[in-house]
Structure 1
Amino acid sequence: MFHFSQTSRSSQKTSRSIRFSCRPEDHGVIAPPVAAKTVLPDWFRKLPPVDQQQASATSNGLTVKRCMPFLDAMTTGWILPLAATVRLEIKDGGSAVDAGWEFDRVMVSNHGAHQVAGNPKEPAPPCKFHNYWSIRTPPGWSCLFLPPLNRPAQPFECVAGIVDTDTYAAHIHFPFFATAPDGLYVIEKATPLVQVIPFRREDSALKAEIQAETGAEATERETVYRNTIASEGWYRKWARAAR
């Protein structure tokens, strides 16, 4: 369902970096990609690590701000934002969506409903945000595109997908469904659309072993769990890889 405007191949440097590029006339005009860790939601920034009103002899009062798995999901990769402001009008119980904008490039178009017939989002029609950044990764690397993780819900939800960005350098547009109640919604420029997580395909092709745990594995599991509850921050200090 991801829309590719054309297919092309280009030489890739072997450096482990992701490159976002746009047309020269768009540079400094459309909203740029940003590292996910630099755009934490306001609610998360304001949340204290410990809620003192909840702290007591029977509760440590910790909040999700001390949860490293939650934070790592939120801050991994890059945020690809909406290039320019768009208005969405959701009507008829979500079965119709009109879009408008002042920017001089197409910002929203439609997919045919037959392409996703029977999907759980019906009757919402499949729409598509247009993206004007090309994405290039080193050989062997792809990108996972998905709705921004652990962030406030928008009046839309983009569809997840994987693109082999080491060989595909054309613009990737993002299908979405309107999810809010009927009404007019202004989606401001730079609103997060998708989270971009690069990964090396070779590393993702793991074989699975599904079996009962061994005695040593059971001991390890129990030791890790007991360390986790014996003192605060054990996972962050001893189990979590350095970022």
Structure 2
Amino acid sequence: MLIRFRCDPALLGHIPPPVPARAALPDWLRDMPARAASELHGGPVRTVKTCPPFVDAMAHGFVIPLPCDVTVAGGRLSWNWDLPEPALPSHPRSPLSFHAPAQVEGSPFHRADCAMVKFNSFWTVELEPGWSLFATHPANREDLPFRLLTGLVDADRFTAVGILFPAQWKDPGFSGVLPRGTPVAQCFPVPRTPLALDVGPLDAAGCDAFEATAHALLSAPGTYRRRHRARRGRSGVAGEVAPQGGEVEP
């Protein structure tokens, strides 16, 4: 799957590019222990750091990075960004703007104490024909002070301008700096092929496989990783793009 990203000619080299999600895993995932004491179990248990589905979800697709540091203090968001003048007059210059709260009235995102922000995009995204872009909050990133609204964009047809990413600023008491490169959205291509759902009971072979697999999962840790998890290739980025951060292998 080739994904093309393009930016304003005057901004190339001044804004961070999208990166594979695997290259943007958070420090807390690397730093957390693989095992922790559990009063419920009376001994140590494995943490989500060793759970392949948990980590694979965080490493799937690519992320759109925040293009500059954003300072949050006293309910105000500000930035000091030495950005060149874009070549395109209609191109945004601020990393984010705001949505009117009424746009989410009647939904769980409408709260009197939470603003609705909009992360501006500095990259266009072009997918192969027949594919759409699923954009959502970075997986398992509850540490971020915002919550992105999930969207699906037909990015094989909508390719001329960048995709905007609306979000609820869920932590009105947050104070600090969101650093340049913070994942704003996690994205991955999905096919627009209609689904055919086949629903029914397990046959005899399926029942045997169920029992054998359940027994293996309960008797030996790491069964899913060793027997069922597909090996994932590394996402490549054309051009001189260095991944940010490291990675976690469960």
Deviation at 1:215, TM superposition (A): 3.8
Higher mean C-alpha deviation, range 80-89 or range 34-43: 80-89
Compute the RMSD of aligned alpha carbons. 2.4
Deviation at 1:73, TM superposition (A): 0.4
Unaligned runs of 5+ in 2: 84-92, 233-250
State the match for 1:11 in structure 2.
none
- The letter of the residue matching 1:106 is S
Which TM-score applies when normalising by structure 1?
Answer: 0.79
| Number of corresponding residues | 217
Residue deviations 1:20-54, cap 9 Å, x none? 22112212211221111122211211234345x77
Deviation at 1:192, TM superposition (A): 0.9
Distance (whole Å) between structure 1 residues aligned to residue 178 and residue 29 of structure 2: 21
Deviation at 1:152, TM superposition (A): 4.5
- The letter of the residue matching 2:210 is R
State the match for 1:76 in structure 2.
60
State the match for 1:19 in structure 2.
4
Distance (whole Å) between structure 1 residues aligned to residue 123 and residue 186 of structure 2: 14
Matched, 1:142 2:132: yes
Distance (whole Å) between structure 2 residues aligned to residue 111 and residue 74 of structure 1: 27
Matched, 1:120 2:108: yes
Instruction: Assess if the C-alpha contact under 8 Å between 1:90 and 1:180 holds in 2.
Output: no
Instruction: Assess if the C-alpha contact under 8 Å between 1:88 and 1:186 holds in 2.
Output: yes
Residue deviations 1:71-90, cap 9 Å, x none? 11010011111112223456
State the match for 1:231 in structure 2.
220
Deviation at 1:109, TM superposition (A): 1.9
Distance (whole Å) between structure 1 residues aligned to residue 174 and residue 219 of structure 2: 50
Distance (whole Å) between structure 2 residues aligned to residue 87 and residue 108 of structure 1: 12
State the match for 2:88 in structure 1.
none
- The letter of the residue matching 1:163 is V
Which TM-score applies when normalising by structure 2?
Answer: 0.77
What SS does the aligned partner of 2:209 have? Answer: helix
Matched, 1:191 2:148: no
- The letter of the residue matching 1:108 is L
Percent identity, aligned pairs only, is 34
Distance (whole Å) between structure 1 residues aligned to residue 49 and residue 174 of structure 2: 33
CA distance 1:223–1:179, change in 2 (3 Å): same
CA distance 1:186–1:47, change in 2 (3 Å): closer
CA distance 1:58–1:110, change in 2 (3 Å): closer
Matched, 1:178 2:155: no
1:217 to 206, 211, 218: 206
Instruction: Assess if the C-alpha contact under 8 Å between 2:117 and 2:167 holds in 1.
Output: yes
